[in-house]
Structure 1
Amino acid sequence: MKYVLSRLSFLLLSLWVAVSVNFVLPRLMPGNPAILMLGRYKGQLTSRALHALELQFGITHQPLWHQYLTYIINLLHGNLGLSLTYYPVPVSQIIAQSLPWTLGLVGTATIISMIIGTAVGVYLAWNHGKTWDNVLPTMAMFTMALPYFWLALVLLYFLAYVLHWFPLAHAYSTGLSPSWTWSFVGNVVDHALLPALTIVVSSVGGWMIGMRNNMIQTLGEDYITFAEAKGVNHWRLMFQYAARNAILPSLTSFAMSMGFVVGGALLTETVFSYPGMGYQLLVAVENEDYPLMQGLFLMIALAVLLANFFVEILYGKLDPRARQGQGGAS
């Protein structure tokens, strides 16, 4: 229990730091969202209109500590401000609309990549030195070296534009209205296949090589040799003894990957015009939409912290040594 409480304390502290940094950074930038909005009207708005915009964007001339308290209260109520790009749509509404698309596409593709890469890595390590162990890592290094955006563009051109196997862009066909019907869900899956394939092809090699190397190192440990000498079952030795310990470093990488899933696959979502978080982040940067950027960064930080918290708890379950010095297992 002490181990869990220590990890939870670190999570809360890190979350407070992330929230505070997210509060300070926009206030170090020149100008404010209201002035940027005023610039879009080429100075045609009056000072009273500017003051009204400042109130809408939550800009006050109160002391900094008062602004900080207001900011925390607004966060607790889910108020992330108004977007400049989609004014007067709230940032929270934009995130709520974009997040499911990113989780569905990038999250699913990341999980598939991790599962396939880890399984193949275990197989290659167990059959170290054989034909597939010489071929697949070389192919993985080649796919990992390919520029991410270039791979997406090549697949989009040949598979979608030339062969017409997949749609060219967007999350679903123009003219359809989102609904929980089989026709709409099938259309969404059809549009997501090619972007997901791009993510899987470009990332599965890293999972495979990482797991293979960890597994080979683990197979050389004395306890593996001892278990093999005792006649432990082949499958039990491979998965329960070797793979269980070899996968621990991959869990940390997986936690980071799942955390950054919220940020979206920026290049993939841009190439395929997919309406996820990464695409919204690009739009926010291009339009100097500080409130939207601030909300997106906060969501990414929160996702990374939560993902690391849960993987540390899982890490402690799989490897009791991780709990040493934290009060032991409860």
Structure 2
Amino acid sequence: MNYVINRVIYLLAVFVIAVSGIFVLVNNMPGDPAYGLAVSIAQQRNMQIEQALEIARSMMGIDPDESLLTRYGKFMSNLLKGNLGYSAFYNTSVNDIISKSLPWTIFVISLATLLSFVVGIFLGALAAQKRGTVIEWIISTVSSIIQAIPPFILAVLILFVFSVTLRLLPLGGAYPVDVEPSFSFEFIYKMFLHALGPMLATAIPQMASWTLAMRGNTSQVMEEDFIRFAEIRGLRDSVIAKKYIRNNAVLPLVASLAIGVGYMLGGHTLVESIFNYPGIGFYFGKAIAVRDFGLLTGLFTLIVIGVIAATFIADFVYSLIDPRVKLK
């Protein structure tokens, strides 16, 4: 119980430090956070930009003469109430944007995480068990090359080859505009097809990372004394590989899984923007492009919460699958 309390306190401290850093960074960016909304108001009401700025600041609750410390206090107060801010560009709360975009991102990241982890673990173990062979060389070389490719570059390649050239995947969106959302097979199939591009662009680099990590862990475990003892006992290679090598080699990667999820959540921005997929990353890219400071701060905060939550969960999962680790 003491471990849980200490861990919660530690993660809360990390959260406060991270969110405070995000707030200071975003609020010191050049430009006026109300300017985007002011331009829209000026166009709609045919008024001067100075007047529109006053209206926009009033709508967003911004006082230009207010100190950074006062704004920080209001931000943290709203955050404790579950309010992540206001988007000037979309003229709505950040919570509303997250509520409609987060499910799409979770859908893609869940598929990408499952695919990359399972396939990466299998290929990494295979490469280690085939040391010194052509199979290991191919898996290791291809994985090293793929790992060096940024996800957004891979997204452009996938979009060009499979969407533009071969026309196998849609060009963008979460589902076709002419298909009504439902639990029908047609809608689910179309939804999966639209998610396939961003999912592959996110999963493939991560798959390469898991492959190389698993190969290194497996090679290390194969040199342990208990593996030699199992061989002396006359156990079959398949039993040793499944029960002794793979199970022990995959354990350290479970803790890294939370970091992988956080990387996907944060690095998914340009991928969703390229595929015009309406997830968190799409709105993140839009917030940067139009300097929507409120939306940017709220989405940054969401990513921090996601990474911290994944880390907290990983601690318990690791203790459950590894009997040598106890929560104290």
TM over 0.5: yes
Match of 1:326 in 2: none
Of residues 273, 276, 288, the one that matches 1:273 is 276
What value does the CA root-mean-square deviation take over the aligned residues?
Answer: 2.8
Match of 2:16 in 1: 16
1:244 aligns with 2:247: yes
Residue 318 of structure 1 and its aligned partner are, at CA, apart by 4.3
- Superposition map of 1:150-169 within 5 A: 150-169=153-172
Cα deviation 1:63-122 (Å, max 9, x = unaligned): 7665444333322333222212211x1111111111111111133112211110101211
Match of 1:140 in 2: 143
Cα deviation 1:1-56 (Å, max 9, x = unaligned): 33333222211211222233344334434554235533553871565x64543343
Partners of 1:315 and 1:251 in 2: CA distance: 6
Give the unaligned 5+ runs of structure 2.
none
Of residues 205, 209, 213, the one that matches 1:202 is 205
Partners of 2:296 and 2:17 in 1: CA distance: 17
- For the Cα contact (< 8 Å) 2:124–2:210, is it kept in 1? yes
1:284 aligns with 2:287: yes
- For the Cα contact (< 8 Å) 1:102–1:264, is it kept in 2? no
Cα deviation 1:234-278 (Å, max 9, x = unaligned): 444323332233223322332112123333522321221111111
Residue 124 of structure 1 and its aligned partner are, at CA, apart by 2.2
TM-aligned CA distance change 1:6 to 1:318, over 3 Å: farther
Higher relative contact order (CA 8 A, sep 6+): 1
Percent same amino acid among aligned pairs? Answer: 34
SS at match of 1:202: helix
Of residues 313, 316, 324, the one that matches 2:316 is 313
Residue 59 of structure 1 and its aligned partner are, at CA, apart by 2.3
- For the Cα contact (< 8 Å) 1:19–1:298, is it kept in 2? yes
Of residues 104, 109, 114, the one that matches 1:111 is 114
- For the Cα contact (< 8 Å) 2:270–2:285, is it kept in 1? no
TM-aligned CA distance change 1:3 to 1:78, over 3 Å: closer
- Superposition map of 1:65-144 within 5 A: 67-87=71-91, 89-144=92-147
- For the Cα contact (< 8 Å) 1:4–1:313, is it kept in 2? no
Residue 135 of structure 1 and its aligned partner are, at CA, apart by 2.1
Match of 2:259 in 1: 256
Cα deviation 1:272-308 (Å, max 9, x = unaligned): 1111111111100110000000011000111111111
Task: Normalising by structure 2, report the TM-score.
Answer: 0.86
- For the Cα contact (< 8 Å) 1:144–1:203, is it kept in 2? yes
